[in-house]
Amino acid sequence: MSTTIDSAPQGASQTAAQQPGQQAERTGFRVLSAISFAHFLNDMIQSLILAIYPMLKGGFNLSFTQIGMLTLTYQITASLLQPVVGLYTDKHPRPHSLAIGMGFTLAGLLLLSVAPTYGVLLVAAALVGTGSSIFHPESSRVARMASGGRHGLAQSIFQVGGNGGSAMGPLLAAGIVQQQSSVAWFSLAALLAIFVLWQIGGWYARQLAHGARKSKGAGATAARLPTRVVVRAMLVLMVLVFSKYFYMASLTTYYTFYLMERFGLARQRAQLYLFVFLFAVAAGTILGGPIGDRIGRKRVIWASILGVAPFTLVLPHVDLFWTGVLTFVIGFILASAFSAILVFAQELIPGKVGMVSGMFFGFAFGMGGIGAAVLGGLADSHGIRAVYQLCAYLPLLGLLAVFLPDLGGRKKAG
């Protein structure tokens, strides 16, 4: 990647004007593929932690509340730092901070594999959260820089890597992690991610050196919106992120426990159902961005959050087969929301890609963490089934999308 990314195009003079654009597009997709792969590795490690919760619960004799607090520690660490990191790097870009952030994840992973007490598990989770807080704002900026103006598509490519990694984590955990020390094998994935991110950091640095850091198509319409409209829209987007990630926390953290308790599944089989759900999330993610580029992000946001409500309302009342089917559908539809929400917010506040990305990634992580903790307490006091009966109503908050302004989201794909 690094040897070809800045090379000048060659050819006849009459096509000289076309070739740089073609070369830039090819380079963009190489960078997007690389940052998506790094996201795959990063989120695979994160979902590994979720997948081994049943093992940790038994090994450390944890309650559901303690499981929720473990998720809260990881996600709150990430959520509080991400907007700060994004705001700082908007003014002072640090291309190689991506690799350094993954170093924190590596340290947390190794500590998790040898943690002797619950307190050390919390420290390990905090280290992994710190790594994510550095990774997400800067990697989202890289995706936008490489987008060629197709911001929704770029965010979807970036995020589908993360969701693919989230799906792969439980599958690998079921086959590899038989005891706590086995977690250390996944440090190889973190080392590979550090290598890839260092290469991406080199590309990022060259773009800055050549004066290429700019936001194409930042959205003139968004820039003319009154402040009160922007504030209202940002609040609505935050509520929609809350509904999405609070509900997602019920599945990513407690789905295996739900299947084991209600249907009597073994842990490894329940982890396979979690893989299917997370695979659906990965498959659905790729749709939201490019569709939003073409038909408008408001329509995508409306359909992906409110549209999932009928399925969530039915889920607590069906058998095992339909539980698997419905969670696949829920994951597939709900996944398309975040790319559209993130790019919508970036267009509301142009020129603040890092801050907006950090704010929304951080808020999403925070809501996931708070959701895990709150729902863990609910599961301890009222049973695991009550979690899904209550969360079923959250997607109805998608009705608030009616208050989002129309940014004129129809864009040419070229």
Model confidence over 159-174: pLDDT tens digits? 888 877 877 877 787 7
Token look-up 């989201």 returns 409
Q: Where are the domains of the chain?
A: 25-403
Task: Tell me which residue of 137, 109, 142 sits closest to 34, measured CA to CA.
Answer: 142
Coil vs helix vs strand at 3? coil
CB 233 within 8 A of CB 348: yes
User: How far is residue 330's CA from residue 284's CA, in Å, rounded to a whole number?
Assistant: 10
Structural tokens at position 261: 């308790």
Which residues, at least 6 apart from 400, have a Cβ–Cβ distance to it below 8 Å?
Answer: 236, 239, 240
Instruction: Determine the average pLDDT of the residues in 288-309.
Output: 78
Which residues, at least 6 apart from 148, have a Cβ–Cβ distance to it below 8 Å?
Answer: 24, 25, 28, 154, 216
CB 52 within 8 A of CB 183: yes
User: How far is residue 99's CA from residue 41's CA, in Å, rounded to a whole number?
Assistant: 12
Integer distance in angstroms from the first to the last C-alpha of the chain? 23
Report the share of the chain in percent with pLDDT over 70. 86
Q: How many CB atoms lie within 10 A of CB 242?
A: 19
Window from 155-159, 191-195, 375-379 with minimum mean pLDDT? 155-159
| Residue with more model confidence, 139 or 325 | 325
Q: Quick one: pLDDT at residue 65?
A: 84
Reported confidence tier of residue 288, pLDDT bands at 50, 70, 90: low
Q: Is 145 exposed, middle or buried (0-12, 13-18, 19+ CB in 10 A)?
A: buried
Please identify, in words, the CATH class of the domain defined by 25-403: mainly alpha
Reported confidence tier of residue 223, pLDDT bands at 50, 70, 90: very low
| Residue with more model confidence, 92 or 328 | 328
Report the share of the chain in percent with pLDDT over 90. 15
Q: Quick one: pLDDT at residue 17?
A: 36
Q: What is the pLDDT of residues 33-79, one digit of tens each?
A: 999 999 999 888 877 777 777 788 888 888 888 888 887 788 778 77
Using the predicted structure, report yes or no on whether residue 352 has a pLDDT greater than 80: no
User: How far is residue 26's CA from residue 4's CA, in Å, rounded to a whole number?
Assistant: 11
Q: Quick one: pLDDT at residue 77?
A: 81
Using the predicted structure, report yes or no on whether residue 9 has a pLDDT greater than 60: no
Mean pLDDT of the chain, nearest integer: 79
User: How far is residue 145's CA from residue 143's CA, in Å, rounded to a whole number?
Assistant: 5
Within 13 A of 371's CA, how many CA atoms are on the CB side? 25
Residue 66: C-alpha distances to residues 29, 58, 70, 373, 380 (Å):
42, 12, 6, 8, 10
Structural tokens at position 100: 């350094």
Q: Quick one: pLDDT at residue 37?
A: 93
Within 13 A of 228's CA, how many CA atoms are on the CB side? 0
| Residue with more model confidence, 108 or 337 | 108
User: How far is residue 104's CA from residue 128's CA, in Å, rounded to a whole number?
Assistant: 6
- Radius of gyration of the chain measured on its C-alpha atoms: 21
Q: Quick one: pLDDT at residue 132?
A: 83
User: How far is residue 52's CA from residue 60's CA, in Å, rounded to a whole number?
Assistant: 12
Q: How many CB atoms lie within 10 A of CB 208?
A: 13
Using the predicted structure, report yes or no on whether residue 269 has a pLDDT greater than 50: yes
Using the predicted structure, report yes or no on whether residue 14 has a pLDDT greater than 70: no
Q: Quick one: pLDDT at residue 18?
A: 40
Q: Quick one: pLDDT at residue 129?
A: 84
Reported confidence tier of residue 191, pLDDT bands at 50, 70, 90: very high
Q: What is the pLDDT of residues 224-261, one digit of tens each?
A: 678 888 889 889 998 888 888 888 888 878 898 899 99
Q: Quick one: pLDDT at residue 211?
A: 63
Reported confidence tier of residue 408, pLDDT bands at 50, 70, 90: low
Instruction: Determine the average pLDDT of the residues in 295-302.
Output: 78
Using the predicted structure, report yes or no on whether residue 296 has a pLDDT greater than 60: yes
